[in-house]
A and B are shown apart, each in its own frame.
Chain A
Amino acid sequence: MTSPSPTGSPADVPVCETVSLVRRFGRRRAVAGVDLRIHAGECLALFGPNGAGKTTLLRLLAGLLRPTSGEVRLLGRTLTSHSAVERGRVGLISHQSMLYDVLTVAENVAFAARLHGVRDVAGATTMALDRLGLRGRELTPVRALSRGWQQRVSIARAIVHDPALVLLDEPYTGLDVSGARALTELLRSLRDGGAALALVTHSVEEGLTLATHAAIVLDGQIRRRDLTAGLDPVLYAASYRDLALESAA
């Protein structure tokens, strides 16, 4: 956390913080009391099996879902459905591409830039496309791209406004080797540039590459927290497996 915070706020205010966060869907409690903090320049990897509540947690952090109880604070301010400005500081990369498949690559990214009020739309768009190796594909309609390339566009879309908090839901899905490498490089530079990252995955190997912190999510709760420095990936993966199997049984 040596780099300056992108918000100008003091570094000790977490970019993202939750307080006993709960979200219910009808009969089911998807998130059952989560407290977490992510500071600028940190990357939190959230591991968990399918249905553990990781996606719901990310959507809560993004302000796309309302908490049933508890709260989410972005840059120190409680997120409500009206706090449009705070929401605008988030970049979300989800399972779904959030792209319009009839529009071209550049149109999709530029539309997101405009919505976020980026001043230099063309410049920001070009830069985002460059970072994901999308040069030369600007004018291709998204639907003409393969799944992996669409994922790259979707990532470009999510980071075009230089978000302070980047939420990633299984971002490596569908990416080939070069796409995965480009993504890792991008995330590293975002993290080192002072953004806070939350990365949801069930692959320990992928998650630990960039993470400064790691957490295991089971049944909507955080079961284990670690600093990744000095963490042995093999041992960690083994204990994650044991915890996941234990909760499934």
Chain B
Amino acid sequence: MSELQPPGTMAVALMIARKDLAIEYRTRSAFFSSLVFSLLGVSIFYMVWDPTAVRPIDMAPGVLWTIFAFAGMLGLHRAFGLELQTRAMDGLLLAPVPREAIFLGKALSNLVYVSAVLAVTIPAVVLFYNLEFGSGLLILGGIGILAAVGLVTVGTLFSSMTVHTRFAELLLPMLALPFFIPVVVPAAQASAKLLVGAELRTVMPWIQVLVAFDLMFGVACVLAFPFTIED
């Protein structure tokens, strides 16, 4: 059996993420639903406020990150859901790979997915809300990545549990949303400052919260994941 060489953690994670993205690319169902949801949300939010009373620039950050959290969550079940239909998850668990690698792979494919939704939603908000955004857009992108990492790590872990329960679609938001507060609030607050031309320095405390959250929950979720799949 010399030709068997169990692959490393990162290699497996990439393998799984690539496979997930290939499936998503061929069906595109989840991505388009999230995208449409997100664009609809952005436009509906615009119309429920009186634009002469609240300036669009004041609404935009809150709308962007709230929609981001909800749209991101819509797609999270897909990652483990597609493993359950035919119990393909058993195939992953049978393979000589560390459990953590499965989590990393799933989180990675979710991250690509959420970032892709975000990559369309941010320009849409800039467009619909008539925002003037120069170099700030780049920083906003950076905040977006930090927020996406936080959302995806926690969301992937919870979806790996809720996917096995009754009323999974209802339970995931109930468990995950409180955990998105330290992601959405800093992201929205930092974007709001940047939008009115504040310097990066003034939003640093928020960015620090995001980084700390990502690190803390990144480690915690990787460690916790094996407990969610053992039978």
Contact = CB atoms under 8 A, between A and B. Distances in A.
Interface of A: 6-8, 59, 62-66, 81, 84-92, 94, 96-103, 107, 111-112, 114-120, 124, 157, 161-162, 164
B3 A118 contact: yes
B86 A120 contact: no
A120 B3 CA distance: 8
A219 to B, nearest CB: 21
B5 A117 contact: yes
24 contacts: A63-B93, A63-B94, A64-B93, A65-B231, A84-B6, A84-B96, A84-B97, A87-B93, A88-B6, A89-B1, A92-B90, A97-B86, A98-B91, A100-B19, A100-B86, A114-B7, A115-B92, A116-B6, A116-B95, A117-B5, A119-B5, A124-B3, A161-B4, A164-B1
Given A102-B26, A102-B27, A96 B6 contact: no
Indicate the size class of the contact surface on chain B. 20 to 34
A62 B90 CA distance: 10
Which of A7, A94, A124 lies at the interface centre, i.e. has the most chain B CB atoms within 10 A of its CB? A94
B12 interface: yes
Given A102-B27, A115-B92, A115-B95, A66 B231 contact: yes
Interface in B183-231: 226, 230-231
A98 B91 CA distance: 6
B32 to A, nearest CB: 15
A100 B6 contact: no
Given A63-B94, A100-B19, A116 B4 contact: yes
